[in-house]
Structure 1
Amino acid sequence: MASHGVPRQATTEPRTEQSRLKEQKQIQEYTELVDLIERKIAERQYTREVLELTSKLLIKNPEYYTIWNVRRRLLIHGLFSKSSDLSSPSMELPSSSQIATTTTSPADSSSSTTNTSTASKETQSNLASPNPGKNGTTLDLIKADLDFVFPLMVKFPKCYWIWNYRLWLLEEGNKRLEPEVARELWNGELSLVGKMLTRDSRNFHGWGYRRKVISELESPKLHGKSMVESEFEYTTRMVKANLSNFSAWHYRSKLIPRLLSERSASDVQRRLFLDNEFELITNAIYTDAYPYAQSVWFYYQFLMTTLVDSIGHLTITPNFTDEDRIQYVRKQLVNLGDMLDGAEDCKWIYNALLEYTLALCRMENRPPLDAERQDCTSWLAELRKLDPLRAGRWDDFEKTLRWVEVDYRLASDVTGVEL
C-alpha cells in the first residue's frame, strides 16, 4: 500500500527448467479456469459455484475486468433473486479464505423455481419478519463479497476494477436493502478508507473513494446530513501529518465553498477564514516543507487565485472590493520576499513573486514600475538557472512582461492619458 517513494523490488528470477514447467502449469490452469467460467456463463449457470470460480480467477488476476462484470451478472440475475434471498438471514457465503478451496455442486440451483415458490409462501406467513428477503441473504451476499474484495484492494490498491466493483456492491445495497442497513455498510467503508489513507495518505484512489463514500452518507436516500465540517477537520489533520499530501490539500479546497456557505459566514468571518488559511499554508512552507514541497505551493496558488482571479475570488471572499484584494496581494508579495532569505535556491518563491507582481499590475491597471521590472528580470534569470527544463515557460513570462509594457504604452498614446 505505502508505495510513494518506495522503489519496487525486482521480481525476475533466473529461469530454470523447473520454474519454466511450473509457469507452464500455472498458465494451463489459468486458461482452463477461464474456459470453464465462460462455458458456465454461456449456459446461464448463475450459481454460487460459478461465483467461487470467478473468485479463484480474480485472486490470480484482478485486472481481468470482464470477470468482474461476470460477477455482477451472477449476483443480479442469479444469487440476489434466488430463493435463499427470501429465507433465513443466517445463510452466508463462504469467507474469502474458504473460496479458494470450497466448491458447490451446480445441482443446488436446479430446483430454484420450486424453492422460490415455497419460500415465498413461508415468507408471507412470517409476521415476525415482514420483509426478510430485503435485509436477509442479500446483505450476507454483499458482506461476503466486500470481505472477498478487501484483501485484493490491499494488495492491489491502484487497480481501478477492484474499486469500481466495491462501489457497485455498495450501490446495490442502496437499491436492495433498507436505508438504515445500507447506511451501516457505507459507515464501514468510511472507517475502512480512513485506515487505508493512514497507511498511504497520498493514494489518490483512496481519496476519490472517500469523497464518494461521504457523498453517499450525506445523501437523502440514506437519511444523511452534511459532513463538511468533520471532513474539513479531517483534511487539517492529514495535511499536518504530511505536508506533501496533494490529495488532502485538493480536497480541502473543494470543501471550502460548501463550508462557508453552510456556516452562513459573514464578510468578516470570511476574511478571518482567509487569514487563517494563509497562516496555515505559510507555516507549512516555513516548517518541514521549507519551502520546497510542490503540494503546499499548489494550495498557496489556490488561495491567491481567490484574490487575483475575477471569478476565483467568489470562492471565499465574494464581497471583497478591488482595494481589499490589492492589499492582500501586496501583503503576500512582502511575505514572499521574506521567504527568500535562506531559500535563494527555491524556484517556487521566484515563480510566485513573478506571477503575482504581474497580477498586481493588472489589478491596478498599470505597467510595471522600474523597480518591479528589474525584480521580474532578476527573478526570471534565477528561474532559468534553477529550472532550465521549463525554459519555454520562462520565455512566455518574459514576453508577457514586454507585452504588458507595450499595451499600456499604446493605450496611453491613443487616449492621451498617462496610465
Structure 2
Amino acid sequence: MASHGIPRSSTTEPKTEQARLKEQEQIQEYTALVDLIDAKIAERQYTREVLDLTSKLLKKNPENYTIWNVRRRLLIHGLFSKQSDSSLPLTESQSFSPGATTTTSSANLSSSATTSWASKETLPNRASPIPGKNGTTHDLIKGDLDFIFPLMIEYPKCYWIWNYRLWLLDQAIDRLEVDVARELWSRELALVGKMLNRDSRNFHGWAYRRGVISQLESSKLHGRSMVESEFGYTTKMVKAHLSNFSAWHYRSKLIPRLLTERAASDLERYQFLNNEFELITNAIYADAYPYAQSVWFYYQFLMSTIVDEVGHAIITPNLTDEDRIEYATKQLVNLRDMLDGAEDCKWIYNALLEYTLALSRMQNRQPLEVDKEECRSWLAELRKLDPLRSGRWDDVEKSLKWLDVDSRFAPESGGPIEL
C-alpha cells in the first residue's frame, strides 16, 4: 500500500521461526520495560533515569499514549523543579513551592489524548527559569523537542507525538521568558514547513501548523496577524500539488480574516472572488485534475458564497440578489464548457445538477422543463459514473419527480431537492 505516495512495508508475509523467536524476545523486553517504568512512577521516582527509560520505550512504540502522559508527569513534578545538583527523586508534594500559581495548559491537537492531571499544573515563576538535572528548563524543553523530531519523521501520523510536542511548547510559554518561548515556536514553524514539504497532504501536519500559527499570533508571545503570509503559503502549496485537501481547506478558513484585515471594499471583494474562481478553474482544467475531488470541494466552497442563503456569503456579503443570480448563471455556462473533453467526469455533472436547481431556488421559481430534462440527463450520467452512490441518486430522482407533482417541494420552500 501507499499513503500520499509514501510506500508502506508489507505485514502479511509469513515469518520464519527465527523471526518469530526474535519478535517474542522483543515483546518480552518491551513488557519488562513498561513494568519497570510503572514501578518507578508508582514510587514517584521523577528522575532523569526514568525519563530516559520512557525515551527508550517510545522509540519502540510511540503509540503508547500512557507513556507520553508519564513523560509529562516526570517533567512537571520532577525535572522542571529539580536543582541541577540534585540526584534524589522528588515526590509530587516536594516538587512545588507554596507561592506557585496555577495556569491552564492546552495541548489539544486531538482532545482525547490529553489527561485531566496535565491540564492544570502549578508552575514556577516564568521570570526565573528553574534548572533541571541536566540544565535549565529551556534546555529540557529544547532537548525533548529534539528527541521527538526523528519520531515525527518516522511516524508522521501518530497523534500522541503531535499532542505532546504542542504540550511542550505550551510549557515554554508558561515557564520561559516571552522572547525565548517565541524563538522555540518560530523554530517550530520552520520544522512543520519541512514536514509538509515531505508530505504536503499530511492533515496532522496542517492541523499542527494552524496550532503553531495561532500561538505565534497570540498576545502571550507578543504576536501579530500572520494571515497574509499564511494565505500566500496555501497558494504556494496548492500550485505545487493541486490535489491537496488540507491546503484548500486552510485557504477557505483564512479568507474571512484576510478580507476583514484588509478592510476590503465591495469592489475588492468581488475581484477577490473572481481571482479565486480563476485559480480553481485553472486547476480544474490542468492535466487530469477535473477528476480530483479536492479542487471540486474548493469550487463548492466558492459557489456556496454565491448560491447559499444570506449569511453564508463570506466573500461578497453585499452582492445583490440580481448579481448573485448573474454570477451563478455564468458559472453554469463555464461548467457546460468544462464537459467538452471531460464527458466522463462525474464532478461536472454533479455541479451542473446542483447549481441548476440552486439557480431556480435563487430566482424563487421551480426549474423550467428544459432544466428538468437536463437534470435527468445529468443524473443518468452520474448513475453510470458513480454507481456506488446509487442511493443518493435515487433520492435526487425522487426530488425531481416531486417537483412535477407537488408545489410544496418547490425550491423556494426548501424542499428535498437539495443535493
TM-score by length of 2: 0.85
Cα offset, 1:369, TM superposition: 1.3
Is 1:218 the counterpart of 2:197? The answer is no
CA contact (8 A) 2:402 2:409 kept: no
Task: Check whether the contact 1:204–1:247 (CA below 8 A) recurs between aligned residues.
Answer: yes
Shift of 1:30: 1.2
| Superposition TM-score, scaled by structure 1 size | 0.85
1:139 aligned partner: 138
Q: Is the contact between residue 243 and residue 289 of structure 1 (CA under 8 Å) also seen in structure 2?
A: no
2: CA distance, partners of 1:153 / 1:111: 31
Q: How does 1:405-416 map to 2 (within 5 A)?
A: 405-408=404-407
Residue correspondence of structure 1 range 347-366 to structure 2 within 5 A: 347-366=346-365
Question: Percent identity between the aligned chains?
Answer: 76
Counterpart CA distance in 2 for 1:55 and 1:321 is: 61
Q: Could you say which residue in structure 1 is the equivalent of 2:376? A: 377
CA deviations 1:258-313 (Å, max 9, x no partner) are 00000111100000000000000000001134411110000000000001111454
CA positional deviation for 1:405: 3.9
Structure having greater relative contact order (Cα 8 Å, sep ≥ 6): 1
Distance 1:403 1:215 in 2: 48
Distance in 1 (CA, whole Å) between partners of 2:6 and 2:171 is 37
What is the aligned partner in structure 1 of residue 153 from structure 2? 154
More helix by share: 1
Please tell me whether the aligned partners of residues 366 and 408 of structure 1 are also in contact (alpha carbons under 8 angstroms): no
Aligned to 2:19: 19
- Once the two structures are superposed, residues 317-347 of structure 1 have per-residue CA deviations (whole angstroms, 9 ceiling, x without a partner) of 1111111100000000000000000111111
Q: Is the 8 A contact 2:332 2:356 kept in 1?
A: yes
Letter in 2 for 1:180: D
Q: In the alignment, which residue of structure 1 is the partner of 2:78?
A: 78
CA contact (8 A) 2:305 2:316 kept: yes
Judged with a 3 Å threshold, the aligned counterparts in structure 2 of structure 1 residues 355 and 238 are, in CA distance, closer, same or farther, namely: same
CA distance in 2, matches of 1:14, 1:238: 41
CA distance in 2: counterparts of 1:174 and 1:204, whole angstroms:
25
Tell me what 2:124 maps to. Answer: none
Q: 1:269 — aligned with what?
A: 268
Between the aligned partners of 2:409 and 2:71, the Cα distance in structure 1 is 68
Give the gaps of 5 or more residues in structure 1: 88-106, 118-129, 412-419
Partner-residue secondary structure (3-state), 2:282: helix
Letter in 1 for 2:351: A
Q: 2:88 aligns with which of 106, 109, 116?
A: 109
SS in 1 for 2:366: coil
CA distance in 2 between counterparts of 1:39 and 1:149 reads 24
Amino acid at match of 1:108: S
Q: Deviations over 1:161-182 (max 9, x none)?
A: 1110001000011100011111
- Structure 2 match to 1:335: 334
The structural deviation recorded for 1:6 is 4.2
Match of 1:4 in 2: 4
Q: Distance in 2 between matches of 1:290 and 1:213?
A: 31
Gaps in structure 2 of 5+ consecutive residues:
98-126, 411-419
**1:223-279 deviation digits (Å, cap 9, x = unpaired):** 000000000000000000001000000000000000000011110000000000000
Q: Which has the larger radius of gyration?
A: 1
Cα distance change of structure 1 residues 151 and 267 upon mapping to structure 2, 3 Å threshold: same
**Equivalents in 1 of 2:328, 2:409: separation in Å?**
27
Letter in 1 for 2:187: G
**Distance between the aligned counterparts of 1:234 and 1:312, measured in 2?**
28
* CA-atom RMSD in angstroms: 2.5
Q: 1:119-147, CA deviations, whole angstroms, 9 ceiling, x for partnerless residues?
A: xxxxxxxxxxx835389700000011001
